[in-house]
């Protein structure tokens, strides 16, 4: 593949990088310390037409491709993992499934305001008892006339308390296994019985809300069913193909931000009358960071291009997610080491990248699950 980015993609990256450096980077640590969702940042991203990058223009998006979207996610991650996480959850998990599986009416009513940035979206799959076995689902949706009645609990749901719509996975046929899972569009503001019961304090990413939600006799009209009954698990697998690329891109950005902080510090900090970058141990560590990040970026871009070409990306997206997520944590840890004692303080960014990077190895399929996926793809 050609690794020279098209001019439009390069221009988009430059616009996003400038915005990130002027608007997000100065407040990145503050919003973490305050555990504050930066609503104003997402309003500005909407003004820049970035909240629906891969969404067709007729549905309020920018009409870009997944590679362009991956570039935006990387640039956001380079300065704030929290902003990046809420952004990718909104785009790949909450918006794109409606574009891919929704009716024209659903796309107009639900996808368009998401793509235009009128509000954020959320996607509710995981439950308290399910963990990595996301198909082990207790949330039920029972048909009652021309409505469905939803009951259950969803756990670790990004953006749930700031979302204007939530895609909820629920069981419509308890006897059908994977084929008994369906997807519903829930309006948190209008649908009675929807409640955010917990907003979690976390190791990192605290400016991106992670919630528990309770569904207590939530009634939704039948036109809120996404696709057909029983389509939910197949939709989930296809959605996660794109979601893994999102996490790979975000991880690459986190690693890049940590690397840049370490390189800048090492070239300015002097010991024994010379910059510490001149010492073999420090220089070799920084070179290794750069090598790893470049590998993660190439895998991520390859997965995005294949996704745009309509190819099966289960294997390559899993590879990209696995490699980039582990690399981001390794690079961030080394960045803390390069800064020494300063790296352990909140006055410098590496500690934030380090804490944020850990979730990349857990969310949207743990590293262990990625090995399982890859083994299956290899026929093992």
Other beta carbons within 10 Å of 180? 18
Return d(Cα 218, Cα 7) in angstroms, integer.
47
Return d(Cα 206, Cα 204) in angstroms, integer.
5
Phi, psi of 334 (to 5 degrees): -65, -35
Give me the residue label for tokens 């690459």: 252
Angle 144-148-149 from CA coordinates, rounded to 5°: 90
Residues 6+ apart with CB under 8 A from 83: 24, 28, 38, 41, 42, 76, 207, 208
Other beta carbons within 10 Å of 221? 13
E strand spans, the chain? 120-124, 140-144, 147-158, 163-171, 181-186, 194-199, 210-221, 225-226, 270-271, 274-275
Task: Show which residues are catalytic.
Answer: 364
Q: Are strands 181-186 and 194-199 parallel, antiparallel or unpaired?
A: unpaired
Return d(Cα 324, Cα 249) in angstroms, integer.
8
Q: What is each CA distance from 245 to 39, 52, 292, 298, in whole angstroms?
A: 25, 16, 17, 12
Q: Are strands 163-171 and 120-124 parallel, antiparallel or unpaired?
A: parallel
User: Are the beta carbons of 63 and 57 closer than 8 angstroms?
Assistant: yes
Structural tokens at position 350: 């590496």
Return d(Cα 109, Cα 59) in angstroms, integer.
9
């Amino acid at each position: 593949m050609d690794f020279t980015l098209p001019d439009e993609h390069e221009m988009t990256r430059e616009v996003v990088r400038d915005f990130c450096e002027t608007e997000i980077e100065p407040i990145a640590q503050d919003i973490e310390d305050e555990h504050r969702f930066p609503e104003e940042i997402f309003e500005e991203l909407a003004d820049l037409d970035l909240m629906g990058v891969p969404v067709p223009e007729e549905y309020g998006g920018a009409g870009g491709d997944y590679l362009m979207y991956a570039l935006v996610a990387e640039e956001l991650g380079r300065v704030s993992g929290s902003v990046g996480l809420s952004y990718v959850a909104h785009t790949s998990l909450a918006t794109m499934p409606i574009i891919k599986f929704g009716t024209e009416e659903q796309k107009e009513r639900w996808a368009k305001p998401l793509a235009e940035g009128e509000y954020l979206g959320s996607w509710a799959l995981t439950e308290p008892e399910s963990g990595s076995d996301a198909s082990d689902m207790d949330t039920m949706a029972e048909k009652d006339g021309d409505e469905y009645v939803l009951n259950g609990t969803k756990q670790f749901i990004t953006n749930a308390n700031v979302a204007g719509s939530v895609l909820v996975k629920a069981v419509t046929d308890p006897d059908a296994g994977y084929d008994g899972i369906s997807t519903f569009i829930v309006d948190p503001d209008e649908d009675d019985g929807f409640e955010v019961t917990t907003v979690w304090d976390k190791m990192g990413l605290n400016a991106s809300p992670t919630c528990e939600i309770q569904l207590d006799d939530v009634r939704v009209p039948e036109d809120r069913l996404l696709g057909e009954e029983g389509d939910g698990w197949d939709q989930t697998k296809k959605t996660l193909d794109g979601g893994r690329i999102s996490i790979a891109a975000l991880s690459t950005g986190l690693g890049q931000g940590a690397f840049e902080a370490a390189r800048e510090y090492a070239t300015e900090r002097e010991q024994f009358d010379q910059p510490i970058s001149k010492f073999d141990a420090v220089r070799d560590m920084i070179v290794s960071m750069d090598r790893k990040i470049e590998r993660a970026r190439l895998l991520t871009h390859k997965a995005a291009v294949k996704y745009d070409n309509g190819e099966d990306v289960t294997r390559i997206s899993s590879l990209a997610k696995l490699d980039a997520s582990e690399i981001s944590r390794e690079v961030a840890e080394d960045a803390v080491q390069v800064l020494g004692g300063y790296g352990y303080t909140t006055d410098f960014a590496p500690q934030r990248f380090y804490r944020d990077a850990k979730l990349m190895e857990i969310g949207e399929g743990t590293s262990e699950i990625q090995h399982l996926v890859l083994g299956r793809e290899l026929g093992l």
